[in-house]
Amino acid sequence: MGTQPISIVDVATAWSELRAIVGAEHMRAAVPEDAVDGLLPQMVIEPGNPQEIAGVLETATRAGLRIIPRGGATKMDWGNPPRDGEVIVSTRRLNRVLEHAWGDMTATVEAGCTFTQLQQTLAEHGQRVALDPLWPDRATVGGILVTNDSGSLRTRFGALRDLIIGVTLALADGTLAKSGGKVVKNVAGYDLPKLATGSLGTLGIITQAIFRLHPVPPETRSLSFSSHDNAAMNALVLKVLDSTLIPTGIQVRAGNSFLPEVDLRFEGTATGCEAQIEQTSRIASGALRIKSSADVWNAPATLWSGAEPAVVCKFTLLPADLGAFCDKLTRVSERFHLSWRLVAQAAGVGLLRLEGTESAALLAAIRDLLERLESSRGSLAVLRCPLEVKRKADVWGNAGDALRLMRDIKAQFDPAGRLNPGRFIGGI
């Protein structure tokens, strides 16, 4: 998708118009900390409401400026390096919970609200968004949505696309598009909420979202088991999935320096949790029960720390293939002199960290694992890696037949290619 050259006169006029829209105090020159994969934009703009965001996008698009949306900046290194980007548009000032319709079990929230702030507000009426994303105290609702950041609670409550029921999206031409509503059963109209989820800000900037809610459980219990090898770990997970148990989390922690471990979480009444734990102990009679706590559910976030250089990937596979994938990781790490650890959900979605001493070895390992996963109906996307690795591979992997459709959708929403250019699958 091509871009038009930027006129100096148009840009000078645009800065003046943008300043009039948001106020001079909410517009500043970018500093090195604002850089995205080595690209330093010219300006950072912080609109205060959806109308201001729409006005900023319309003005920037008309002037030929490229836009990089930003929320809490926790995942700005996800995706391909941006092809261009003169303006960062931040949602930091859109940080309110607009409505908690606790009787209908829905909530309307602005995109710049942190997830922790949202959960604290909902907890006042004993409700929650049944989601456990990364870095909830800093990650914003909009950023969580566009990166499709679901956690272990998806085992019971579904992925993020199952929890969002409405969204307002500011498009590149200044249009405010709204879809969905506060009624959980509302299915009329174009499914913009699901389309925006996971789009990495390439279709528009989310300004508001509406979620379906669930009760805060009276009790939460966790237990963990250690397995003597990857096959035994996988067998235990499949036994739990095939049972009558109703866990709200099934998590696997594995690596080349420790035995695989399986975590389970149950929520409900104390009696109900104890009954499920007792049944689990019978199912897992061949595994060693180990000490557990609620902290094990923070394990995904620990994959962002360790020795460097390193790569953090998101992978998907069939649940029955998890043990074999761990065995494959061991072989790959030995071949390329790497270490690895992962945290995976029973649904077949996980995060993997690879550590080494050379970026070339990491790149070779990624390509090997990508081929293995894609050949067995899985996928691999690189979330964090050295910039030299990013520049040599599309971090999203192969989009297959879906790429043409995704490009057509991008052309409908952002025909000039102004939003996050180049950062999504296939350079969209």
- Total structural domains within the chain: 4
pLDDT tens readout for residues 156-168: 999 999 999 999 9
Instruction: Express as a percent the part of the chain with pLDDT over 90.
Output: 90
pLDDT at 262: 97
Segment 275-289 mean pLDDT: 94
Among residues of the chain, what percentage have pLDDT more than 70?
Answer: 96
77: in domain: yes
Whether residue 271 sits in one domain with residue 237: yes
Task: Write the CATH number for 164.
Answer: 3.30.465.10
Q: Which of 293, 313, 346 is the last residue of a domain?
A: 293
Closest C-alpha to 273, from 33, 281, 132: 281
Look at residue 185 in the predicted model and tell me its pLDDT.
43
Handedness of CA 135, 30, 359, 393 (dihedral sign): positive
Kindly report the average pLDDT of the chain as a whole number: 94
The one-letter amino acid at 161? R
Which domain-ending residue is among 164, 183, 215?
A: 215
Check whether residue 207 and residue 224 sit in a common domain: no
Last residue of a domain, one of 46, 71, 92: 92
pLDDT tens digits along 107-153:
999 999 999 999 999 999 999 999 999 999 999 999 999 999 999 99
What does pTM read for this prediction? 0.94
Cα 145 to Cα 308: distance, rounded to the nearest angstrom: 29
The residues, any chain, with a CB within 8 Å of residue 226's CB and separated by 6 or more, are 259, 260, 261, 287, 288, 290
Q: By mean pLDDT, which of 47-61, 181-195, 197-211 is the weakest?
A: 181-195
Q: Looking at the structure, do residues 78 and 118 belong to the same domain, yes or no?
A: no
Confidence class for position 400, pLDDT limits 50, 70, 90: confident
Residue 9 has pLDDT above 60, yes or no: no
Is pLDDT of 393 > 90? no
Instruction: Give the CATH number of the domain where residue 328 resides.
Output: 3.30.70.1130
CATH code at position 71: 3.30.43.10
| Backbone Cα Rg of the chain | 22
Residue range of the domain that includes 313: 303-390
The residue ranking higher by pLDDT, 294 or 20, is 20
Residue 123 lies in a domain: yes
3 part of a folded domain: no
Q: For 147-193, what is each residue's pLDDT tens digit?
A: 999 999 999 999 999 999 999 999 999 999 998 766 544 444 458 99
- CATH code, domain with 234: 3.30.70.3450
Average pLDDT over residues 319-331: 97
Please check the confidence at residue 383 and state whether its pLDDT lies above 80.
Answer: yes
Q: Which residues, at least 6 apart from 196, have a Cβ–Cβ distance to it below 8 Å?
A: 145, 146, 167, 169, 203, 204, 206
